[in-house]
Amino acid sequence: MQKTAIIGAGNVGGQTALLLMQAGIRDILLLDVAGGLAKGKALDLEDCASIFKRDCVIEGSDDFSLLKECSVVIITAGLARKPGMTRDDLLRKNSEIVSGIALKVKEYAHTSIVLVVTNPVDIMTSLVAKVTGFDTKRVFGMGVSLDGARFANIIHQELKIPVTAIEAVVIGNHGQTMVPAPALTQVSGKPLATLMNKEAVARLTQATVERGAAIVGYLGSGSAYFAPAAAIADIVKAIVNDEKRALGVCAYLQGEYGVKDVYLGVMAYIGKHGIEKIVELKLSPEEKDAFHKSADSVRQQLRSAFREK
């Protein structure tokens, strides 16, 4: 039986464990430096499993040596955004936390697939890859899958079209320079860009960029966790079930879209080996330029992050 570890038993980690349990993942390890938090949530989740009639094992611990039993490791630990805080503001605070976790993963789970969630996710994924030295196909991040879902929902709310009829595409970094792609986004089989004028499309794409900050502003403390957990669970299901399904992830680029040596949000086929293949979409000149600017933004943050290490 495959075991899936979630490092960080906060809102995102706990909700992810619940969704994985509901999805049929039968062996879940919830790890946190606050062992009592992990153990308490694991007991609560066991009771949920009883309600949902799920036959699974959910363990909570602060013992990172238990990672040696895990084939998939999800890193959610770190500080959440606060009102007025950008994802970039999180870089300095979370890089130290994530680097320490990556050392534990390298020591105990050297054959695992690692899904990074901690923000800013493009930078944190790069840090994990650098510290662990793992094959980059086994280290990737969750980011644009969530952004794509947000874009789809915003389109749904605007056009009153069932969300099941919308295939939204967002690429680039999980932050202010993300690239919602209206020409590639399909609404009932038609490109979004053909259904709305440029001003309306621009309004929806900007709302997508600002969605995370809007949620933080309303919550007052902490950030989104229901939708991020759902996006994580969707990716983990694709790994565990070897679905080889195209999903938005933060992947290491080696020439795709003319970009090299940086982690950035793209569509990729996900299966039991992690990233099976990156999907290179046909971008408009404007989208390609925005994607390259997004890559430059991530590189600038990386220089800052590694200079401070």
Number of Cβ atoms within 10 Å of the Cβ of 305: 20
Q: Is 174 a catalytic residue?
A: yes
- Among candidate residues 110, 156, 174, 292, the one labeled active-site is 174
* DSSP sequence for the chain: ---EEEE--SHHHHHHHHHHHHTT--EEEEE-SSHHHHHHHHHHHHHHHHHTT---EEEEES-GGGGGG-SEEEE--SPPP-TT--TTTHHHHHHHHHHHHHHHHHHH-TTSEEEE-SSSHHHHHHHHHHHH---GGGEEE--HHHHHHHHHHHHHHHH---GGGEE--EEB-SSTT-EE-TTT-EETTEEGGGTS-HHHHHHHHHHHHHHHHHHHHHHSSS---HHHHHHHHHHHHHHHTT--EEEEEEEEEESGGG-EEEEEEEEEEEETTEEEEEE-----HHHHHHHHHHHHHHHHHHHHHHHH-
User: Could you list the active site residues?
Assistant: 174
